[in-house]
Structure 1
Amino acid sequence: MSRRRIHDSYEDLYGGDRGYKKRRRGGSESNDLEDRLESLVLKVGENTTSTIESNLEGLASVLDGNIQNFKKKVLKLLVECAVNMPEKCTIYSTLVGLLNAKNYNFGGEALGETDDGQLQILRSTFDLWSADQQMLTVLIDKMLKTQIIECSSVANWIFSKEMIPEFTKLYIWEILSLTINKMSRHVDRLTRELNEAREKLRTTAAITNSSDDSDAETEKVEAKPRQSTTTFGGQGVPMDVDDNVTEEMVERMEEKLEMAQADQKNLFLIVFQRFIMILSEHLVKCDTDDRPFDTYWYKYTVGRLQQVFLAHHEQVQKYSSTLEGLLFTQDLDIHILEVFHQFLALRS
């Protein structure tokens, strides 16, 4: 289907009237437009002869054109659709991704900028799908990928009081693991892109300097596209110098990586702080009640703490000094502190 036909399929949004935008919009017309937007979102992908990709592209264009006037309505509608119609979760998460590309951080706004807003969505999702742990895991994974929720919010939700009955269930730790892995992949990708950009910048500078050495070399370079070969992973990879990587671009990428690393460090601080809090509460309560602390729950929780250290040791190691200075201090209970010391001993 052509791009023109995609937009024509949504022409009824304006009642088929090309002069619609020029007319004075009253309250009833505004409500009518809201209803039509809602209808389009709810029915996307249904009863259509075009591809789902074309449908989503067309709908994204329509929503983008009305995003300023109906942002709250669109945000609320997309979240409700994703939560209440999980069979179309992939469709709605893709739609949020398309809108996020057109409107920076639209996905983040879908759950609000505050942690409370994101936690509320996680609670609502759990209330609806607590009986289907696999679907719950998929939904949270999709919301993370489309930047609807942040990794830190998922960590806070997992260790919240309302999730205590679920704490020892396997799916909870699967969600925590995919959350940490998602953040790690994000940091790794930004690091790789920055290194490649720096290499391109160095290669460009080297060729520019060498081309200035003689007029003959300059003429040779101008006669054909400049190509260079750099090394990635031990293999020579042709690199087009005309990619125009600038110092300003590299600086922006460095800032983006620093922000991602700060988010990663914050995620680990949240996770380990919550472990310390629940284990410390357990130890204090057992000491007050004069009963053994070495229960099944205690062993399970310590085992999960050790698992986080070992499964993500490369990432945790980068922030070990921060963890030692802020969380795993000498005044911490020896039973908890011992887990951290064991991790350091393995990495030494």
Structure 2
Amino acid sequence: MSRRRHSDEGDGEWVSMLVRFLSDLVNCHVIAAPSMVAMFENFVSVTQEEDIPQVRSDWYVYAVLSSLAWVGKELYEKKDVEMDRLLNQIEGYLKGRQKTHVSMLQVWTAEKPHPQEEYLDCVWAQVQKLKKDRWQERHILRPYIAFDSVLCEALQHNLPPFTPPAHSDDAVYPMPHVVFRMFDYTDAPETFNLIFIKPFLITVKRDVSSIYFRGLRNFKAVVLLMWWIILCFRLINWFSHHLSNFQFRWSWDDWADCLTQDIEKPKPKFVKEVLEKCMRLSYHQRIVDIVPSSFSALIPANPVCSYKYEEETELSTPMATTVSNAIKNRASNEEILIVLKDVPNPNQDEDDDEGDGFNPLKIEVFLQTLLHLAAKSFSHSFSALAKFHEVLKNLTDSDEGKLHILRVLYEFWRNHPQMTSVLVDKLIRTQIVDCAAVANWIFSPEMAHDFTRFYVWEILHSTIRKMNKHVQKIQKELDEAKEKLEKQQNKKQRDSGDEEDMEKNSEDEEGQLEEQIERLQEKVESAQSEQKNLFLVIFQRFIMLLTEHLVRCETSGVDINTTWYKNCIERLQQIFLMHYVIIQQYMGTLENLLFTAELDHHILAVYQQFCALQL
């Protein structure tokens, strides 16, 4: 069993299955029971190591416990003393484990309808039940039993000695998790053990995934829904697609109790977000027609634009008209910039003759007018942004400009979240705004009204993913260039006896590669700096918002656990959990600059829970 980085659950699950397979070979008389016990003892010995993260010892213990359902009976019949000693050692380890991370991973905080168990506690309880039942079970398929008379005479093999590879700082282990319990222990027959459910669910998941990829072309909508259900995809996304497949028919009156609640409460929030997703799959009037009039407060706004210069009373309307005429007359980027020079800067005094500074009015006049002329469709908007890319880059050459262009976009399309999302995506891709600007905009006071809406967080997570992919892309180019240089140098050594001209050409190629590597190295460092800054901005804004809320509640003597607070604190947890692999690289910086001991314990607890996932 070679050493490997278990950077995700898939790798850890694969190795667990391999250990389970070896365990079942003991039942087939292929592997000798004593050697299997010896391997388990080596696995559990990891719990005695010092200065290692808990997730390392957790995984080795889990690999042993999850295999005992298959081989426990055979091992206890032949090595009962050793197995008792092994389980006692595991029990001692489990009693001393830290479980700070559990509250972050729980699906819900209440113990109803079912307790949310930490995965090792769950599998340990099930192994204890199996032991109490003398390892009797009737659920695992054991086809080799039919050939026991033949297999019992087979030559058994001893596993080679296995020593767990030593821990290193760059090692990544599977994260702990909490069991999403759909059924209670009392829901199953007494002879049934929940440890057997997971393998079948894994099989179902793999079968569905293969169906999905084979049948995507012909059965995309239906299979995609199955895929989402199996993977517990967000219920809102799934349910809106479900409704679209059945002409949006639903017994809406059954949900009427949500109409008397605060619109930010979970029930009305869920209905509102579902209807918004449904509108993306249909159109506004259709949603208005199918939903009872009593639900009007939850129906999304008509997705029309808000063009501020339609009113003649607006002081800047004449300037907007001039810009509009210039665009209609196919003016070039340079000509548009000349027209915009006449737009006064409200931030600049009349006697201030210094060069062009940040001019919010110039951005408002141009972008509002451009978006208004291109409001017919997504394609029209994309084309407009592409055509006047130079103007937009000129207007957003400062951080203030980047932030303000996002404000203007939101103000114009505030009733059309989907258009806002795709246009923000377009602005990032065309490098008109950067990822940090998007994060700052999302946490700005102007976005407070929409802060808890799902589309806002879709934008933020999409922005983070783009930043991460950008870093990965440049890192891949750097690795490939280094690999190419290494091959070139190896080839040079092999061909050292060839002609002088070939050697000169080789040196030229090496020089070019070294220059390319140097440039790429600078790009990687720059991209990683942007990536770190993005997370610093996000967490800093979270801390600022939450701290303001906590101080406000403390001053007013109000309970801090408002709907907004729960939403915000759980969004913070979501950022940590969804992007934990990247965030771990910057934990030192985060701890020194943001998550310090002076921070309010309500906020600091989230960071400590995250740290505990890899301790």
Please tell me the TM-score bracket, short chain as reference. Answer: 0.5 to 0.7
Cα contact 1:79–1:110 (8 A) shared by 2: no
- Match for residue 476 of structure 2? 192
Which of the numbers 329, 333, 344 marks the counterpart of 2:611?
Answer: 344
Structure 1 residue 325: Cα displacement:
0.5
In 2, distance between residues paired with 1:324 and 1:107? Answer: 40
Q: Return closer, same or farther for 1:192/1:82 CA change in 2, 3 Å cut-off.
A: farther
From the superposition, tell whether residues 298 and 70 of structure 1 become closer, same or farther in structure 2 (CA, over 3 Å): closer
TM (normalized to structure 2)? 0.39
Match of 1:114 among 395, 398, 404: 398
Give 1:140's match in structure 2, choosing from 403, 417, 424: 424
Hey, what does 2:330 align to over in structure 1? 40
Could you tell me how far apart the structure 1 residues matched to 2:468 and 2:392 are? 19
- Partner letter of residue 259 of structure 1? S
In structure 2, the partner of 1:157 is 441
Residue equivalent to 1:127: 411
What are the within-5 Å matches in structure 2 for residues 41-190 of structure 1? 79=367, 83-84=371-372, 85-86=374-375, 87=377, 88-95=380-387, 106=390, 109-190=393-474
Q: How far 1:153 sits from its partner (Å)?
A: 0.8
3-state DSSP of counterpart to 1:319: helix
1:83 deviates by 2.7
Gaps spanning 5+ residues in structure 2: where? 1-324, 341-361
1:322 alignment counterpart: 589
Q: Unpaired segments of 5 or more residues in structure 1? A: 1-34, 42-62, 100-105, 227-240
Q: Distance in 1 between matches of 2:608 and 2:406?
A: 34
**Hey, which bits of structure 1, 4+ residues long, moved more than 4 A?**
35-38, 69-82, 93-96, 241-245
Counterpart CA distance in 2 for 1:78 and 1:300 is 36
Percent identical: 42
Aligned-partner residue type, residue 136 of structure 1: T
Q: Which letter does structure 2 place at the counterpart of 1:90?
A: F
The answer to which structure has the higher helix fraction is 1
2:539 is equivalent to residue 272 of structure 1: yes
Give the distance between the partners of 2:452 and 2:598, measured in 1 at CA.
28
SS of 2:330's equivalent?
Answer: helix
What SS is found at the alignment partner of 1:347? coil
Query: Per-residue CA shift, 1:210-235, capped at 9, x if unaligned?
Result: 211x23xx59x89xx99xxxxxxxxx
Give the whole-Å Cα distance in 2 for the aligned partners of 1:186 and 1:129. Answer: 28
CA-to-aligned-CA distance 1:130-153 (integer Å, 9 cap, x gap): 001111111111111100111111
1:333 maps to a residue whose letter is: D
Native 8 Å contact 1:328 1:337 kept in 2? yes
Q: CA deviation at 1:89?
A: 2.2
Match of 1:208 in 2: 492
Choose which of 305, 320, 323 in structure 1 pairs with 2:572.
Answer: 305
Distance 1:37-1:132 versus aligned 2 partners, 3 A rule: closer
* Cα offset, 1:266, TM superposition: 0.6
Task: Tell me the number of residue pairs that the alignment of Structure 1 and Structure 2 aligns.
Answer: 264
Tell me the amino acid that sits aligned with residue 252 of structure 1: R
Whichever residue aligns with residue 39 of structure 1, its letter is N
Cα deviation for residue 70 of structure 1 reads 6.7
Amino acid paired to 1:91: S
Deviations for 1:82-112, whole angstroms, at most 9, x for unmatched residues?
A: 533142122234446xx7xxxxxx5872442
Q: 1:331 aligns with which of 598, 609, 612?
A: 598
Q: Is the 8 A contact 2:441 2:447 kept in 1?
A: yes
Change beyond 3 A, Cα 1:107–1:151: farther
Q: What is the alpha-carbon distance in structure 1 between the residues aligned to residue 449 and residue 511 of structure 2?
A: 55
Post-superposition Cα deviations, 1:29-57, rounded to whole Å, max 9, x if no partner, equal xxxxxx8886336xxxxxxxxxxxxxxxx
- 140-149 or 106-115, which deviates more: 106-115
Aligned to 2:551: 284
Give the counterpart letter for 1:317 in structure 2.
Answer: Q
**Quick one: distance in 2 between partners of 1:256 and 1:71?**
31
Contact 1:90–1:142 at 8 Å: present in 2 too?
A: yes
3-state SS in 2 of match to 1:209: helix
Whether the 8 Å CA contact 1:151–1:183 is kept in 2: the answer is yes
The question of whether the paired residues in 1 share the 8 Å contact of 2:367 and 2:408 is answered with no
Distance 2:584 2:370 in 1: 37
Distance across 2 between alignment mates of 1:257 and 1:171? 30
Q: Please, what TM-score do these two structures have when normalized by structure 1?
A: 0.68
Aligned residue in 1 for 2:184: none
- RCO comparison, higher one (Cα < 8 Å, 6+): 2
Q: Is the 8 A contact 1:279 1:298 kept in 2?
A: yes
* SS across alignment from 1:40: coil
**Are the structure 2 counterparts of residues 193 and 108 from structure 1 closer, same or farther at C-alpha, using a change threshold of 3 Å?**
farther
The 1-side partners of 2:558 and 2:614 are apart by: 35
